[in-house]
Structure 1
Amino acid sequence: MNPGVEVPVLFYPQDVKVRAMEKAATAKAHFETYYNDLLQDGPSPRSARLDGMRSVLDSSPMVLPEDRKELETAFFQQETHHLRQSRVLKWESLRAANRLVDNGQGPCVKNYSTLKNLGKGSFGVVRLVREKGDGDLQSGQRRQKNVYAMKVIRKTDMIRSSQEGHLRAERDFLIASETSEWIVQLISSFQDATNLYLVMEYMPGGDFLGLLIRENILEEHVARHYVAEMVVCVEEAHRLGFIHRDVKPDNFLIDAHGHLKISDFGLAFDGRWQHDTAYYLWQRDDLMRNLGIAVEGDATDQKEDTKTSKAHKRHQDRVERERHKPPSCFRANAEGGEQIPLVGSLLDWRATRNRTYAKSVSIGIILYECLYGCTPFLAEGGRHDTKKKILAHDASTFEFPRDIPGVSYECQHLILQLLQNQECRLSSPKYRSQDPLAPQHYVFAEDDAIDIKNHPWFQYLDWNHLHRMTPGFVPHLHASDDTRYFDEDEPVSDWSETVESEEPVISPHKMKRLLRREGFCSRSIGSFMGYIATPFDTTRLRQIDQRIEGKAHFSEEDKHVLKYLVRKFGCKERKGARDILLRDPTTRRDVMNVRKQKAFVDYTWKRAPAPPCVPVAAVDDDGVCYHEEMTETYQQERHAYEAYAAQGTYWELDGQYELGGGPYAMVNTMYWQGQQQYEQRLDRPYFWDGQYR
């Protein structure tokens, strides 16, 4: 460039600047999160897997030096293959996302076939899927664990509600819990033009809420075991650095052996800046100011009542988003053309700047519901009266129902100690030892259920062997894809395939007129309006049906009409977008398209296979090695099952051979008992047939 030559100023149209701003904001967020993960201390996931296998090799006297070398070679070959598969999945995922229109060529359609819809929620739908190619035999062995639960999340709805941070938090937590036995395992995550996908292990026993609905009330010793497993599940989440913030019965799932695992981390919190929604909003706001982009929003934004309300709203938004604004030294250097500080410095500032405290969560309400059949704050008047009871709760005047005797004093005492204010609630001495005025690096402590575990109600419970105990309910399954505990009264529509509707929502006034015309009284109309006030998911729909069935003054025809109207009008309302760019009619289409393409660039992940099988010697209490005997029994039962499975047969619980099971039917009882007996007598991890036990 020649000195003295005037550089022409280019004026770009508003839509061009908006698209450029969106792409730049996405790139900034991507690189900050990428380098934050890259510069983290500690071993990489691959190194951790290698160290784990080597520790097992070192502790096994049965492994010869030449066998060790062969196992390590197999491990590196397996890791190379996994890396190649992960890169292919990322490429396919990004290619599908950039199409904007789903042409059926994404990773979901290519790799999985849908068997059934298991449930739906505000996020989308959960499907039961089978990995394609499951019928193939590999090295003479049939592939196992090939049926999964796929959570399908609509991009459009998540972007409209500014949920980027929560979606990243859910995915990151599931990855961090890769080796946990109390958290539902993530198999892979990817995206296409319209949806995000989380493929997780299938829990065929359904959710704990379904068990409560079937049983109504649990015996105290049964409730003790389940509540203990819930405590361990929540404690495990805290150990990994997350607070769940949505602990409820339907978020505990039951596996094939009857044990609980916690799921649904869409509201999880860990205090990290990359999981804060305000961080992504700040990135865009900062660029909008620099580029001089101004938008007016929709009609509601333009008709705000007073300047005071506008100023107040702007002040709240600014305070929330300024938490992510870097110090002046970073901005001054960047704007002045000077050398920008090291990436690590900026990331260190982000990691220490955005720390907030979070309240702990109690499971006392779930324990109460297990024993008394309802929540302690349930009110006949609906949600509003329930909220009033919660706000007016006083543990000193709390009373238990007298019409349900038999609950021990120790159990009631535990419930009262859990239904306390935060400063008095059972938790951990580590919380009470912290200075509430001093900033803490972590917002919670590890092993924070010490007080709960030491309560007299759990006096005779072996906390270290919960997973070896037999729960009160063990699912009776006939096949790996058995969905009997997910069956519902009507088919579940696949919300992931729906598009935004422009149809008008029926007004409350018209709805009341419609109900009066059907002959309903004012009290019944008020209850119904409460049912449809909040969009329902599968769980809430079941609860609404139960309440309608519980109304004794309704005829069967009235109940049928109300259920129909709930399904027809209960989910029509759509909340407005939180971001003004998505509300403004001149920018919302371009902004939505760019975010659907670019906002989840690093969402794709694939679980690594378990390390190769390492032989482990096991010694019983008398010092006698039983490895060979148990292995031989296990192998015989397994080969017998595979032989009959290949002929289209299976073993029922009575031990008789029956036709019609297919290769994925339920395995025989002896096979599973032999496997469990073998695994339970080992005191250390065991690798078997490529599956980590």
Structure 2
Amino acid sequence: MGAICSCCKAEVIDFDGPVDLYHFYLLRAVGKGAFGKVRVVQHKQTKNLYALKYINKAKCVKMRAVSNIIQERRLLEEIESPFICNLRYAFQDDENLFMVLDLMLGGDLRFHLDRSGNMKEEVVRFYVAELALGLDYLHRLQIVHRDLKPDNVLLDEKGHAHLTDFNIAVHFSHRRPLTSVAGSMAYMAPEVLAKRGYLSTVDWWSLGVMAYELLFGRRPFRGKTNSALTHSILHDRCSFPENVENIVSRECITCIRGLLERDVKKRMGCRNGIEDFKQHPWFASVDWDALETKEATPPFEPDSKRANFDATHELEELLLEDNPLKAKKRDEKRELSSLTPELRQMEEQ
């Protein structure tokens, strides 16, 4: 028999050493965002499935997003919640930064809203309750998400809601309120746009905007330009469809009005956190203990036989990617002093 060519030998993986991309099988592409892409991966040793978020370092520098990415990783290291896509591994190679997160196969709420249209009241109530638990957990850690919207809520295969994308999440302090305008404008709270200074109050407003959108298929405040949208958020009355009493209950409307209260001292969630939700009539039927342990049955279960994500992500990965993702050995000879300040910052932090 002929000798086996050394170049054909399988890569020896050290599972006891630092985690790297060689530890995972790369499976299908399922999404992309402003700062990176997402693929399903499987750990070669444990066989567990995860979502791999990877960010090109050069693009990160070009978009001036280095501090955001470092901040996102550090925040995720502090978090462990059943209603958040938790971080499981983080590592880098010479080209990319990698974050391995809990995998959610049920798709995001934007996808389901676009595919199936307006959602039933009991479905939206379930999501609002689970997300309220997740937000209350973050706020107790003094973290504000700042970008709650249907796109950033992922469902697992059973239908439980999870908050994701902590790219602009940040720690807050009561001594020094935040002033930067950050987030997706349509979901921004009035105090963000007015630049008055804000804390975790903004997440409850965004939850109200999202709940309204899931129920009625449109957002409560609209404008054809940024200035018109800003004016609507700051001044317009929150109105409901004419036949709203045939669509949702009165308790549902009072909850949304409570979340979309411009006075933060009166806004639902801002007074007593999760207790505001537990005491509200709209949630009278919710078993909060079962909800917190995920023993409550979700009212909607994603169809496991259909793809719950945009299939074009997979096609783009195959046809348009000029530098397909693959495991690469790091350049051990490269010295940090030879890197730009931004690349050195990513290496060190």
Shorter chain as denominator, the TM-score bin is 0.7 to 0.9
Match of 1:209 in 2: 110
Answer whether contact 1:120 1:494 (CA < 8 A) is retained. Answer: no
Q: Call closer, same or farther: CA 1:199–1:489 in 2, change over 3 Å.
A: closer
Distance 1:267 1:591, change over 3 A: farther
1:106-165 deviation line (CA, Å, top 9, x unaligned):
x32x222322111111102111122235xxxxxxxxx45x22111011212322344333
CA distance in structure 2 between the partners assigned to 1:477 and 1:602 by the alignment:
41
2:18 matched to 1:131?
Answer: no
SS of 1:464's equivalent in the other structure is helix
Using the alignment, how far apart are the partners of 1:470 and 1:122 within structure 2? 34
- The residue type paired with residue 465 of structure 1 is A
**Where do residues 149-548 of structure 1 align in structure 2 (5 Å cutoff)?**
149-178=51-80, 180-271=81-172, 358-360=199-201, 361=203, 362=205, 363-379=207-223, 381=224, 383=226, 385-394=228-237, 398-404=238-244, 405-421=246-262, 422-429=264-271, 448-466=273-291, 467-477=294-304, 484-488=307-311, 491-494=314-317
SS, match of residue 89 in structure 1: coil
CA contact (8 A) 1:149 1:200 kept: yes
Judged with a 3 Å threshold, the aligned counterparts in structure 2 of structure 1 residues 221 and 240 are, in CA distance, closer, same or farther, namely same
Show the 5 A alignment for 1:56-75.
none
C-alpha root-mean-square deviation of aligned residues, in Å? 2.9
Residues 189, 208 of structure 1: CA spacing in aligned structure 2 closer, same or farther, 3 A cutoff? same
Q: 1:370 to 1:169 in 2, by over 3 A?
A: same
Give the number of equivalent residue pairs. 293
Q: Using the alignment, how far apart are the partners of 1:592 and 1:388 within structure 2?
A: 49
Contact 2:144-2:172 within 8 A present in 1 as well: no
| Structure 1 residue 601 corresponds to structure 2 residue 347 | yes
Whether the aligned pair in 1 keeps the contact of 2:143 and 2:200 (CA below 8 Å) is no
1:189 Cα deviation from its structure 2 partner:
0.6
Q: Which amino acid aligns with 2:309?
A: F
Q: Distance in 1 between matches of 2:65 and 2:200?
A: 21
Distance 1:595 1:113, change over 3 A: farther
Supply the distance in 2 between the matched residues of 1:400 and 1:591 (Cα, whole angstroms). 59
Shift of 1:491: 4.5
State the 1:493 CA deviation. 2.7
**Whole-angstrom CA distance in 2 between matches of 1:261 and 1:202:** 10
Code of the residue aligned with 1:450 in structure 2: it is: E
Kept after mapping to 2: 8 A contact 1:428/1:450: no
Q: Give CA deviations for 1:425-445 in whole Å, capped at 9, x if unaligned.
A: 112446xxxxxxxxxxxxxxx
User: Which residue of the partner structure matches residue 574 of structure 1?
Assistant: none
Contact 1:169 1:266 in 2 (8 A): yes
Q: Which protein is bigger by CA-based radius of gyration?
A: 1
Residues 124 and 214 of structure 2 are in contact (CA less than 8 Å); yes or no, is this contact kept in structure 1? yes
CA contact (8 A) 2:269 2:276 kept: yes
Deviates more, 1:488-497 or 1:410-419: 488-497
Q: 1:490 to 1:243 in 2, by over 3 A?
A: closer
Q: Distance in 2 between matches of 1:210 and 1:413?
A: 27
Q: Give 1:592 deviation, angstroms.
A: 9.4
What CA distance in whole angstroms lies between the structure 1 residues aligned with 2:315 and 2:266?
Answer: 43
Return the offset for 1:378.
3.1
> What displacement does 1:214 show?
2.3
* Of 88, 101, 115, the match for 2:27: 115
Within 5 Å, give how 1:17-32 maps onto structure 2: none
For 2:73 and 2:124, how far apart are their aligned partners in 1?
Answer: 31
CA change 1:596–1:114 in 2 (3 A) is: farther
Q: Over residues 296-339 of structure 1, what are the superposed CA-to-partner deviations in whole Å (9 max), with x where a residue is unaligned?
A: xxxxxxxxxxxxxxxxxxxxxxxxxxxxxxxxxxxxxxxxxxxx
- Contact map agreement 2:42 2:50 (CA 8 A) in 1: yes
Q: Could you tell me the percent identity over the aligned residues?
A: 32
Distance 1:591 1:375 in 2: 50
Q: Which amino acid aligns with 2:40?
A: L
The partner residue of 1:89 within 18, 21, 31 is: 18
C-alpha contact (below 8 Å) 2:108/2:152 kept by paired residues: yes
In the alignment, the residues of structure 1 paired with residue 54 and residue 157 of structure 2 have an alpha-carbon distance, to the nearest angstrom, of 23
Which amino acid is 2:218 matched to? C
Structure 1 residues 367 and 493: alpha-carbon distance in aligned structure 2, compared to 1, 3 A threshold: same
Deviations 1:268-298 (A, max 9, x none): 11148xxxxxxxxxxxxxxxxxxxxxxxxxx
Q: Write the distance in 1 (CA, Å) between the matches of 2:129 and 2:161.
A: 10
Report deviation, 1:375: 0.8
- Checking the alignment, whether the CA contact within 8 Å between 1:150 and 1:200 is kept in structure 2 is yes
Gap regions ≥5 residues in structure 2: 1-13, 174-196, 324-335
2:133 partner amino acid: V
- Contact residue 155 and residue 196 of structure 1 kept, 8 A: yes
Amino acid in the other structure paired with 1:419: L
CA shift, 1:384, in A, is 5.0
The answer to whether the Cα contact below 8 Å between 1:158 and 1:164 also exists between their aligned partners in 2 is yes
Shift of the 498–235 alpha-carbon distance from structure 1 to 2, 3 Å rule, reads farther
Give the deviation of 1:359 after TM superposition. 4.8
- Quote the Cα distance in structure 2 between the aligned partners of 1:114 and 1:213: 28
Q: Tell me, what secondary structure is at the counterpart of 2:159?
A: coil
Q: Does the 8 A contact of 1:128 with 1:148 survive in 2?
A: yes
SS in structure 1 of the partner of residue 347 of structure 2: coil
